[in-house]
Structure 1
Amino acid sequence: MRITDENMQDKVLIVDTTHGGVKLATEFSKLNCEVYAWDIYHTLSEEQKKQLQIENVKLVDESFFLGGNKALVVAPIHSNLKYSVDMTHHDAVVYLLKEEIKIPMIEVTGVKGKTTVVHMLREIFKDTNPLILTSLGVEIKDKLLERNISITPASIITAWELGQKYNPGIYIWETSLGGTGLAQVGVLTNIAEDYSIASGTKTASQAKEQIFKDELVACDYDSYQKYYTQHEKKTNTFGLTEGNVKARDIKYGLTKTSFRVEVQGLKTVSGEILDDNFEVITFAPAPYHVENVLSTICASLTCGKSVESVKSGLENFHGLKGRTTIKHEGNTTLIEEINPGINVTAVKRAIGMVEHLPRSAVIFGGQYGVTCEEIDEESVSRVLDELSMDIGLILTDELGASVKDRITRNLNYWEECNDAVEYARAKGYQNVLLIYRSNLLDLEYR
């Protein structure tokens, strides 16, 4: 719900200090109200507790409710609180920033592809000095203002504060579990997996529906048809074969892919309806990369960006370090899929890049605990077990060790990722796909 100044309570309780609550509590403490914070997951450090104390934020627990206290309750969309919630964390960001956002804004949500789409949008909007927020950090003008920031709604406030002195012309934010409603254009990349949240009482698709608070939304066609058709009036869709923006005559390549873009009946922020047809060349070695490109095109055209700006921006995009990157070393092409959010769907999609390449191998592994959502070992083991015997399989690190006994086909295991890569090179594999579940900055494998 939206909270106005007129019905703002004298007391505010911020639930969940793990997912941005510390920042929200700090910001609310600057207003004329008493602020309380509930560390529901018990993750606050001593330093954070001292910071909140300095800001006059009082730490409480569930007894706050049992004592009959009245307050405006602010909780994340993924919480399963048994008490009434007045405002989500997304709504709190709107309340705190609604008078401060004075330039165009795009926010990107979805299950897969968010970070990549934001970086492609940055290339297209480069002439407007974009300030971007992704899980890789807050960036502007090739400056990294803060590294490894979370994509909880509260991080939008942090990014906004960091970027003000650089005079950005547009904000492009990656946000988890839906949008705030502050943007002219929202992007929903996909619902690749409709995982459960809030202790099984809600789903990702329900939470991400918040993106439709934005003025217009670029939405994956399949997700729109399955979950969101009630938002037809404000939605432009994209997809490989269906949607307002779709692809034709795709010619895949590891470093460059070309295809024709068909645009039909696309709504723009200026009220125009756009029909067009043009060719793009960009980094998109697999179908799911093309889907990311289509979402970027759909969002850009919805914002009113010219076709020429879209084409030149995409041509300047060569992949994203920490997502899909391709390296040529000697006789070996190394395709890296290094991502903290790798799940079964991502593994299937990545394997599609090498299934038809000669002398290929897949290295799979990584770490646990890099995101809240862990990987389904049984399902991913089945996917790896079904690999063609023409493709080598190499497992590594703790995730590889955990699944290797579930797999019946021939494989090799190396404890260290760098040893696995060197083994693949030594065996003469020409195309090596490394699927590794980790934060890129935590991985030093060569």
Structure 2
Amino acid sequence: MRILVLDTIHGGADLAVALRDAGHRVDEVDVYRGEIGIPVEEALVRTYDLVTAPVHLDPDHPLLQQHGPAVSHHEIVGLLIAGDAGRPFIEITGARGKTTTAHAIAALMPGPGVLHTSTGTYRYPERELLWKKSITPASLIPAAREAERIGGWLVAEESLGVTGAGDAAVLTSAEDYPIAAGKRRALAAKLGLLARARTVVLPQGVDIPGCIPVGSVVSVEGEACRYSGYGIAGSFQNPLLSLAGYRTALSLAAATACVLGIDPSPLGGFTPIPGRMAVRRDGSLLVVDNANSGTNMATTVEAARYARELAGDAPLTLVIGEEARAVCEGFPATEISRAVAAVRPDATVYVGDGEEAATLEEGFAAAREITPEGAIVLAVKTWR
């Protein structure tokens, strides 16, 4: 087929290579900068059998008006890796909690496998870092091939949906935000793609016929998680269950494990992931690190509550903001202001374009200078 691939920035360039390797004739267009592939004007006058675009591309883009409707990058990747990925294959999407849920599920998987997340792609059981890429659909292709090569499982975090090629899919949160130049909603896009999955595990607050609500398998009270379903029953305790983010992730991981026929009891030993409520000491300072791609107002307030629980009445400095618009859904200025008002820190260091610090590292350094003792909370939206 002759295929037009749109958006080389968000995985389109890698997708074009994979499609050429599969024997197709491919044109690619950099719809934002015009630096890679052919110009928009040239693509407009050519003829294609198929056009593929990310779900977040403006549906009124001239190339979609001319050659659409488009097949999503997720769907094309699903076709490319069908039968050529590790098994079992679990796909994870959602506005937040993806990375923690993926790590928790991977911690339960037996034998060799590949974990593909925004923190990196790892080969298990040795947890060797293979590479660091984005979590666009196209970045899943090499992870799937590596899992197939070693004859292992694949657990994959994906942005804005799933390919549908997995054995199970997990939605981690019901938060919504506008995409595609404000003409589509992120949650609707994810749900549309999840409809292609064989088995779907849903978080609290989402109810879709034919899918598995996490509450039908798992219940959490305090630091205890009980699970029963699919022939597996038991419980585990973990102090992380007192934190909202980990409670959700560990619950979803436990429910998914039961669906797969795996006992989730080892989650009792699951420990924090760097950047996801990880706690450390830095001299006389307590640092709660919650700077990650899913940072938002709710997680910032939760991180500050956790820091005060651990540090008592000690002064608290909040490092908050967004690194160079690195994440699709962003951390809007209005939400940052609301988070600061809710936390009421003793001092605040803002991170972002035009702020006192441009990066998380600069923000932390500034916070250390003004906080001789007490607690520092890192709440910067960034890829880690």
Query: TM-score scaled by structure 2?
Result: 0.87
Distance in 2 separating the partners of 1:303 and 1:98: 19
Amino acid across the alignment from 1:217: V
Q: Give the unaligned 5+ runs of structure 1.
A: 1-9, 50-57, 251-257, 267-272, 404-413, 441-446
State yes or no: 1:204 paired with 2:204. Answer: no
**Rg (Cα) greater in structure:** 1
Structure 1 residues 39-86: Cα deviation after superposition (integer angstroms, max 9, x where no partner): 111264xxxx5xxxxxxxx62414423x26233111111222342224
Selected match of 1:131 from 98, 103, 114: 114
Distance in 1 separating the partners of 2:295 and 2:92: 18
Q: Give the unaligned 5+ runs of structure 2.
A: none
374 and 260 in structure 1: CA distance in 2 versus 1, 3 angstrom threshold? closer
Amino acid across the alignment from 1:323: R
CA contact (8 A) 1:29 1:35 kept: yes
Distance in 2 separating the partners of 1:162 and 1:17: 23
Report matched runs for 1:43-442 at 5 Å: 44=35, 49=36, 59-65=38-44, 67=45, 69-82=47-60, 83=65, 84-101=68-85, 103-125=87-109, 127-140=110-123, 141-147=126-132, 149-165=133-149, 167-192=150-175, 194-209=176-191, 210-222=193-205, 224-225=206-207, 229=208, 232-233=209-210, 235-238=211-214, 242-248=215-221, 250=222, 258-263=223-228, 266=229, 273-274=230-231, 276-281=233-238, 283-306=240-263, 310-312=264-266, 314-357=267-310, 358-360=312-314, 361-366=316-321, 367-388=323-344, 391-398=345-352, 401=355, 416-424=363-371, 426=372, 428-429=373-374, 431-440=375-384
CA contact (8 A) 1:261 1:277 kept: yes
| CA RMSD, 1 decimal | 2.6
Secondary structure at 1:106 match in 2: strand
Report the alpha carbon displacement of residue 298 of structure 1 after superposing the two structures with TM: 1.0
Distance in 2 separating the partners of 1:43 and 1:323: 36
Report the alpha carbon displacement of residue 175 of structure 1 after superposing the two structures with TM: 0.6
Structure 1 stretches (4+) deviating beyond 6 angstroms? none
283 and 11 in structure 1: CA distance in 2 versus 1, 3 angstrom threshold? same
195 and 401 in structure 1: CA distance in 2 versus 1, 3 angstrom threshold? same
Structure 1 residues 383-415: Cα deviation after superposition (integer angstroms, max 9, x where no partner): 312435xx5233244479479xxxxxxxxxx97
Query: TM-score scaled by structure 1?
Result: 0.76
Amino acid across the alignment from 2:380: Y
Report the alpha carbon displacement of residue 172 of structure 1 after superposing the two structures with TM: 0.3
CA contact (8 A) 2:114 2:146 kept: no
Report the alpha carbon displacement of residue 289 of structure 1 after superposing the two structures with TM: 1.5
105 and 386 in structure 1: CA distance in 2 versus 1, 3 angstrom threshold? closer
